Structure formats: structure tokens, C-alpha cells
Amino acid sequence: MKIFKLVSILLLLSLFACDYFDDSQSEEGKKIITNQQIRESHSYANIEEVFTKHLHLDMEVDFDNNSIYAVARHTMINKGSDTAVFDIKGLEIQKVTLGEKDHEINTNFVIGMEDSILGAPLSVKIDKNSTLINIYYKTTEGSEALDWLKPEMTKGKKFPYLYTQGQAILTRTWIPSQDRPSNRITYSADVKVPEGMIALMSAKNPTKKSKDGLYHFEMNQPIPVYLIALAVGNLEYRKIGKNCGVYSEPEMIRQVAWEFKDLRKMIVAAEGIYGKYQWEQYDVIVLPYSFPFGGMENPRLTFANPTLLAGDRSLISVIAHELAHSWSGNLVTNATWDDFWLNEGFTVYFENRIMQSLYGKDIADILALIEFQELKAEVKEISDGDHPEDTYLKLSLDGRNPDDGMTSVAYVKGAFFLKTLEEKVGREKFDVFVKGYFKKFQFQTLTTEIFEKYLEDNLLKPNKIKFNTKAWLYGKGIPKNCIKIVSPRFVAMQKMADNFNAGKDIFKIKVKKRRRKIDLKRDMYVTQEWLAFIRRLPRNISIDKLKLLDKKLDFKGWGNAEIATEWYILGVEAGYEDIRPNMEKFLKKVGRRKFLLPIYKTLANRPTDLKWAKDVYAESRANYHAVSQNTIDEILKFNLKPAKV
Ligand code: BES
Ligand code: ZN
């Protein structure tokens, strides 16, 4: 096999993005930068020379060997290059061919040095007129996107299960691809799964099982490859309303349909704010507990964690969030992972607007305040750590895992930046601006710098407004002009926590116009109010008080993962042993990183608990997706290999 020089990759890494502009527009005298030229430190792909336009996947899912055997057929636009570079990690490449199916000719390829975060470049020899590149490969144990579950790990316990998680740079671990968000592609797939199982993708989906286990998929709207997704299991569909429904294992489909009953209303509310939903269908699939996120916005099919099934619809804001990504993220996409706040900050802002529209300002404000508490704590932690610049909205993640940017800075500082702007210009003008932004940049990707200029030209200048945009985007911490949310309900919960801590009886409540007092019950308050309550309790609270709370309110037996996590953390910090059995069960079952991370972190901070945490983790690790494993390995300094003697 010939060896090719990887000069193009080095050239690519040295490219710099300038201040403007998108593909289609230009201003005289301005240097133009196309999406293909945006600097990217998390991909080897030379998309400025040759890039995928359409991808067809032929796949066979083999549950006996936990492997996908596949051909990735890339239709490329080639500007005249003799090499096409793809990203791969944990894949076994068998051969690469050029040309139409059945008329293919083998071509040479070379795999570069493996980087532990990025994987390796796969450089394929092409000629100047090549447009079809077919990569034959199989996935391996190192394919981190894939979570293969044995039947015991599913609800039904009869069929195995497989799902993928592509964001941020894991698509390359199950599809050899140009894995950078600034390239958008359409895709199609032919997938074979064992008979009796359904395959679903982030594409037009079946609602019934096929007889032969064969499924065909089409995604005709261009998306970045991190949004390609697959789930295979024993799944059932239930329609909720016009153009929306839910999938899950049959054993939980009723519960799922009940919990997400408001799906249609959410779509209507979202469309009322920012215009038509562009992806035709919006479905949600509830995956097994190991899914590392609350939700993932795969187009047309949000992936969701079963911990959202609180039984009282109180965690539905995660669905509002994933739906909101149909505009921010999926329609208008961050060009690089340094611009991640453009995806998440806009989405948290939009999520809050949807919640406000459906459930009122009170609820939306409580949600926002809970998040703001998390932001303040995280800003402090980051500022004291190795990368204080991680509190900027615009990140610099060169040489690091893009997952490091997944902090509440992108999410909540991003959202509060937009809230503050909204307050400054008024909702009416701000809505027109954001709606215009989604329209202008739909099916495109953009950088923070492009956004900054667009904001200046289309909102601030026309309204003669001075705003500290630069401080928000490229400055530390939370700027002083940040909007202040006032929530009487939130404050009341904190007051109740203070009263309880001061020894007052909070369990009998006076009700106006009634003589008798009534008992305090947990359904009198929403989840986030209880979070405010628990967070307010001092960390050295007495065990008797915690016992009393458990007796009256049964936080540990509640089955609400948000409350449970907060309660376990307080319990560990206060040395309250009664939580252990529940906490252990929880850690063994739930793989959602948002919960695992703070619990394991709290345990790891306490030398007496570290051993316990490691023991529980050793037993639970196999039940988590690689995304969560990687995070917790680091926290616990968990080393799978035996220490060298
Ligand atoms: N897109 C994210 C999940 C993600 C981000 C995966 C970065 C990989 C890399 C998703 O929309 C998300 O933000 N999920 C949150 C929901 C929450 C903020 C409402 C989660 O899972 O907790
Ligand atoms: Zn999100």
C-alpha cells in the first residue's frame, strides 16, 4: 500500500477563521470564508478540498458479536484533490473502493497516528474526478458511540438493545466520516437487524416492525454528522398528536405516552415563537437507563432517558429543550465545538420560552433560577481550576475533548446573555430578531464571530443600543448587567428550608379560609421547588432533621431522579447513612451523566467515601455508556488495568 503524506491535514490545522461571512453572502472588500474553511481542531477531514454531500449506509447489526458490519458510501464534491481525509476511531477498515455500487474499484488508503481523543485520519487516494468513495468496515469494542445492551438490561428482558450517541465527536466511532459540524450532509441507510426488532434513525422512521428485519431510511435535509443516530430494540410506537408520537419498549409505552402528553402543545407553542417546525415529524424515543444524557436532539427523533418519567410530568422541560434544538442546533448549527453555546445557550433560552408559554411565567422563572444557581457554582469551580477561560462563551478547546465544553456556561450563561438582551430591547423586537436569525442561517453553520456581527448589524445598531457583547462572549464569569430573575415561589421554598433548619414545624400548613391546618405534601410543589428547598439546607444539618424529612416527605423513596440526586449529595455531605442502599441502587441502574457526576464527585471528595464509590462503580461501570464511563473514570481515577508492580 502506498503511503500518502498527510500534509493537507497540517495545512488544515493552520487555517484561521476571519471575522465574517457565510457561504452565500459577501460584502465588498471583506475576506470571504466558507463553511469548508472554518478552522477546526477536532477533525482531520480536509473538507475545504473535498467534502461529503450525501452518505448512504449499508449496515448489518449483529447482536451476537456486538458489531455493525457496514459500508459507508460517500458522495463527494471534489474540488480537485487527490486525497480525501475522514475521521475514524475504534473502527476496523477492511477496504475502500471508488465508484458506483457493483462497478467499484479498490483504492489505496492509509490510517494515520491515533490520538486518544480524536482518533485517526483515514486518508483515501482518489483522483480528481472521484465523487463516490465506499468505505467497508466494522465497528469494534472501541466504538464509543455504541451502547450494546444485553436483554437483562432492558425493560422487557427478552431482546437486546443498541443505541448510538454521536455528539460531540463520536460519530467517527461508528461511521467513517468527516466528523465536523461545519459540513452538512443528507443521508440514507439500509439497515438489517434481527427479525422481531425495529431499527430507528434520525430520519423518516417506521412505526411498525418489518417481517424480514430490513429497514430503509432517508434524511433529505442536510445535517451535521453528529446528528446521525440509530436505535435498535423491541420497540412500539404510539401517536400523541398531529406529526408527533413516542417510541419505547412495549412495557413502558403507556407511561411514556402519559408523561409526554403535551408534546403537540409544545410544538404549537414553539412554532408560535420562532416559525414553522422544519423537520415534518417530531417523535421521542425513551431509551434504557444507561443513556448518558437526559435528552439528545437527533432530528425527527429525540433520544430520551427514562429518568424523565417522573410520573407527574414534572421533568418535561427536557423535552421542550430537545424540541427547541430543532431550531437552535439542528437548523442553525455551531460551526465548531468552541461555539457550542450557539447550540445550547439558544436552546435553554428557547426551552424557557416554551415552558413559559405552556405553564406560565412562575414555572419558567423557577426553572431558570435553579439553572442559575448551578451556573454560579460552576463558574466558581471553573475559575478556581486549570482552565478559567472556560467561563467564556466562546471556548478554546484545542487539544482537549470537546466534552469539556459541556458546562453550564454554554447552557445557562448563554441563555442569560439572550435573556439580558431581550430585557434590554423588549420581547417584541427580540423575537423578530431571533426569528430572522433562524431564517437567515437555516441549514447553515456559524461561528460566534459571525453571530456577534449579525447581532450588531440587525439588533443593536438599528435600535441604537450599546451592549457589552464582547464581555459576554469573550470575557470571564457572569457580567454585572446580567438579568435578575425574581421568583417569590423560589424564595418561599428557601424560607421554608430556613424555617425547618431553625427547628420550626413546616409540616402543618395554615390555609386561608379554613380552620384546620393541612399536612405538607410533596405534590404541593413542583420538582424544582423541592430542589431549591434541599439545596438551601446547610451541609452540616443534623441526622435527626434528615430522618424527619425522610419520614414526612420520603425524598429517598420518591423515584424522582432530580430530587434523589440532590438528596443523596446532601446525605453524603451530612454523613446520613440511611441514603446508602437507595443511592447504591440508583448508581447501579442510572447511567445519566448529569446525576452520576455530582454524586461520584461528592463521594470522591471524601476520603472515607472514595473506596465505597469505587466499589459501587466497579459493579456499575458496565451498565454505563462510554461517555459516562470516561467522565467517572477520571473523577475516581479509576484504572481498569492492574497497577504496574
Ligand atoms: N445536545 C445535548 C447533549 C450533548 C451535548 C451531548 C454535548 C453530547 C455533547 C442535549 O440537548 C442536552 O443538552 N441535554 C441535557 C438536557 C438539559 C439541558 C435540559 C441533558 O442531557 O441533561
Ligand atoms: Zn441541549
pLDDT tens-place string over residues 430-441: 999 999 999 999
Ligand 2 centroid distance, CA of 138 (Å): 30
φ/ψ of 556, rounded to 5, equals: -75, -20
For residue 202, the tally of other CB atoms under 10 A from its CB is: 26
Give the C-alpha distances (Å, rounded to integers) separating 184 from 132, 394, 568.
17, 22, 43
Q: How many CA atoms lie within 13 A of 496 on its CB side?
A: 20
pLDDT digits (tens, 9 = 90+) for 236-262: 999 999 999 999 999 999 999 999 999
Tell me the average pLDDT across 579-591: 97
Cβ of 593 less than 6 Å from ligand 1: no
* CA nearest ligand 1 atom 10, residue: 296
* CA nearest ligand 1 atom 8, residue: 167
Range of the domain at 187: 51-234
Residue with cell 470575557: 475
* Identified catalytic residue from 411, 437, 568, 624: 411
Give the C-alpha distances (Å, rounded to integers) separating 292 from 165, 170, 202, 359.
9, 13, 18, 28
* CA nearest ligand 1 atom 19, residue: 318
C-alpha cell at 608: 472515607
State which of 226, 321, 375 you would mutate to test the pocket of ligand 1, scoring each by most atoms of that ligand within 8 A of its C-beta.
Answer: 321
What letter would DSSP give residue 389? G
Q: How many CA atoms lie within 13 A of 131 on its CB side?
A: 6
Cβ of 625 less than 6 Å from ligand 1: no
pLDDT digits (tens, 9 = 90+) for 95-145: 999 999 999 999 999 999 999 999 999 999 999 999 999 999 999 999 999
224 and 90 within one domain? yes
Cβ of 550 less than 6 Å from ligand 1: no
Domain contains 30:
no
Q: Domain boundary residue among 456, 474, 492?
A: 474
Q: Domain boundary residue among 209, 234, 259?
A: 234
222 and 84 within one domain? yes
| 47 neighbors 180 (Cβ within 8 angstroms) | yes
Domain contains 99:
yes
Q: Provide the pLDDT for residue 513.
A: 75
Q: At 453, which CATH number?
A: 1.10.390.10
411 in catalytic set: yes
Closest CA to 203 of 239, 182, 229: 229
Domain contains 45:
no
Examine the pLDDT at 7 and tell me if it is beyond 50.
no
Tell me the average pLDDT across 195-207: 98
Give the C-alpha distances (Å, rounded to integers) separating 194 from 37, 60, 353, 395.
42, 9, 42, 43
Tell me the average pLDDT across 13-39: 46
- Ligand with minimal distance to 307 CA: 1
Domain contains 289:
no
Q: At 135, which CATH number?
A: 2.60.40.1730
Examine the pLDDT at 573 and tell me if it is beyond 60.
yes
Cβ of 42 less than 6 Å from ligand 1: no
CA distance linking residue 273 with residue 154, whole number of Å: 38
- Ligand with minimal distance to 342 CA: 2
CA distance linking residue 408 with residue 9, whole number of Å: 32
Cβ of 406 less than 6 Å from ligand 1: yes
**pTM of this prediction?**
0.94
Tell me the average pLDDT across 457-484: 98
Q: Provide the pLDDT for residue 6.
A: 38
220 and 350 within one domain? no
Domain contains 450:
yes
Domain contains 158:
yes
Ligand 2 centroid distance, CA of 110 (Å): 36
Domain contains 572:
no
Cβ of 8 less than 6 Å from ligand 1: no
**DSSP string spanning 11-45?**
HHHT----S---SS---TTSPP--GGGS--SS---
203 and 62 within one domain? yes
Average per-residue pLDDT for the chain: 93
- Split at pLDDT 50, 70, 90, the class of 32 is low
* CA nearest ligand 1 atom 22, residue: 294
Ligand 2 centroid distance, CA of 378 (Å): 17
pLDDT digits (tens, 9 = 90+) for 599-620: 999 999 999 999 999 999 999 9
Closest CA to 451 of 441, 461, 466, 443: 441
Q: Domain boundary residue among 234, 260, 285?
A: 234
What letter would DSSP give residue 170? T
Domain contains 110:
yes
Closest CA to 161 of 79, 78, 98, 247: 247
| 123 neighbors 6 (Cβ within 8 angstroms) | yes
> What atom of ligand 1 comes closest to residue 594's alpha carbon?
22
CA distance linking residue 330 with residue 351, whole number of Å: 14
- Which secondary structure element, helix H or strand E, spans residue 518, and what is its range? strand 518-519
pLDDT digits (tens, 9 = 90+) for 487-537: 999 999 999 999 999 999 999 998 877 778 999 999 999 999 999 999 999
CA distance linking residue 39 with residue 173, whole number of Å: 22
- Ligand with minimal distance to 597 CA: 1
Cβ neighbors of 463 (< 8 A, separation 6 or more) are 425, 429
27 in catalytic set: no
- Split at pLDDT 50, 70, 90, the class of 645 is very low
In the chain, the number of structural domains is 2
CA distance linking residue 280 with residue 221, whole number of Å: 11
